[in-house]
Structure 1
């Protein structure tokens, strides 16, 4: 079934749709279904490709400092929209007969509804984006980092692993999301002695390292590579070994709970502070960090310390 038209689509209408909704709805309105899906795929590829280029160091976040990812992603999408508009202007004189989906009440909202449904499904069951609002996980998560957490990793009976950078809900402030590193598993005894981490009465080895990436901090940090039981290793930052939480009483992790700590050891509210957080119950965990894809403060994504997963 199609609607016969004697006049081409209005040029101002084409421009408005391209500017507001993008190239895919524009092609639907023009009656070009295959091109609509082609431009939809191109838009997705352009947005994903931009952030993949940032991850690879090809695109630097520095020129976009202070701009959040939802705005940054509009730049490649606008480029696709302009290409789609130029293409539509070429096709416009011949596009006089259009199918049912070219009606405005179908063409204009359909791509948006599809996009919202796909986004909702990905965020709910696969990967959810988060950002790092503080310096508590430096040098591994910088202030302004945006990253994905896997919603699948802690599902189907899988539990947080020692060394994971995990996203979870707080224990004292309902609804507030935290990101910290999993240090202690159920049954472990965790203790700090003069700035050194002990797990089950055994000192966790650490080796001083230098970083290629500059880390902003009000006080000078010294960096160490720490290796947890099971082989997971990561870099931590410390002001000194005589700070407020560098000596703690032994704490045994309850069943079904996990002990978490910030990598910026002297600037983190974590399980060392029972009144603020304490140990985290299993049901509060959302998922582990998988990949950083942007930094709104202009900090490069390349040159970050490498974290090695546990072999347990």
Structure 2
């Protein structure tokens, strides 16, 4: 065999290897787990800016949004499993087309309302118990360099940014921390939302710093989210970095590596 032929065969083998690697990676991402970086503080303290996780796409079955760019030729949802109240879910925004991550609060038929910062489901207050404070540095966070909002603001750069913390427990027993920044915002006092059939209602754990179902789509919010738009469930943080780049190893949060959610 000539040297030229050998090089051609080597190049062809490399091309085939790369092709099949991309196919396998695409199938893995579509069918099993999708990587997701946390870009905002709407789910603090459960999820922090810079957390990296894999979303379990098998949890609720598959829809066209299971594929990148929503190209899956699926009508409705196949192999569907109903989500549970309290799940942390990645979903496709019904209008904007971007991916959001929030906590599922309302199921089809539920009546959801906030009154003076307290969550009500079907006209019953969801129990919450004060649980100290959530304290973080008032400094730029993540790739976008966002600074956190503080209940004790204004805060100088490098100071302690404090939020009141409480543990909320849903009717099915799921408990999680929620944070408070202000007491009289729109998000603390809302109308009653009745969740339509085939839709779900989502709220962020950082209650005064989350654009979610409490805000209608016409107001730039999320509104009710169709079942079809659910992409998967977040179960565990795999990696976390407080800096602007994952390469800045001195900003890694090793205590959050493989950190389970909901425990």
TM-score category (smaller protein): 0.7 to 0.9
Residues 134 and 165 of structure 2 are in contact (CA less than 8 Å); yes or no, is this contact kept in structure 1?
no
Aligned counterparts of 2:36 and 2:104: Cα–Cα separation in 1: 18
Question: How do 1:62-211 residues align onto structure 2 when only pairs under 5 Å count?
Answer: 103-155=9-61, 156-173=79-96, 175-210=97-132
> For residues 107 and 136 of structure 1, do their structure 2 counterparts lie closer, same or farther at Cα, with a shift above 3 Å needed?
same
Residues 150 and 290 of structure 1 are in contact (CA less than 8 Å); yes or no, is this contact kept in structure 2?
yes
Residues 235 and 260 of structure 2 are in contact (CA less than 8 Å); yes or no, is this contact kept in structure 1?
no
Which consecutive unaligned segments of at least 5 residues does structure 2 have? Answer: 62-78, 139-147, 151-161, 244-250
> For residues 212 and 260 of structure 1, do their structure 2 counterparts lie closer, same or farther at Cα, with a shift above 3 Å needed?
closer
Aligned counterparts of 1:212 and 1:196: Cα–Cα separation in 2: 18
Q: Which structure: greater helix fraction?
A: 1
C-alpha deviation, 1:224, in angstroms:
1.2
Q: Give the 3-state SS of the residue equivalent to 2:113 in structure 1.
A: strand
Give the paired residue count. Answer: 211
Q: Which structure: greater strand fraction?
A: 2
Q: How large is the RMSD of aligned CA atoms in angstroms?
A: 2.5
Aligned counterparts of 1:153 and 1:105: Cα–Cα separation in 2: 40
Match status 1:292 vs 2:237: yes
Bigger-Rg structure (1/2): 1
> What residue is the counterpart of 1:223 in the other structure?
165
Aligned counterparts of 1:178 and 1:189: Cα–Cα separation in 2: 22
Aligned counterparts of 1:151 and 1:139: Cα–Cα separation in 2: 23
Residues 105 and 202 of structure 2 are in contact (CA less than 8 Å); yes or no, is this contact kept in structure 1?
yes
Match status 1:250 vs 2:173: no
> What residue is the counterpart of 2:225 in the other structure?
280
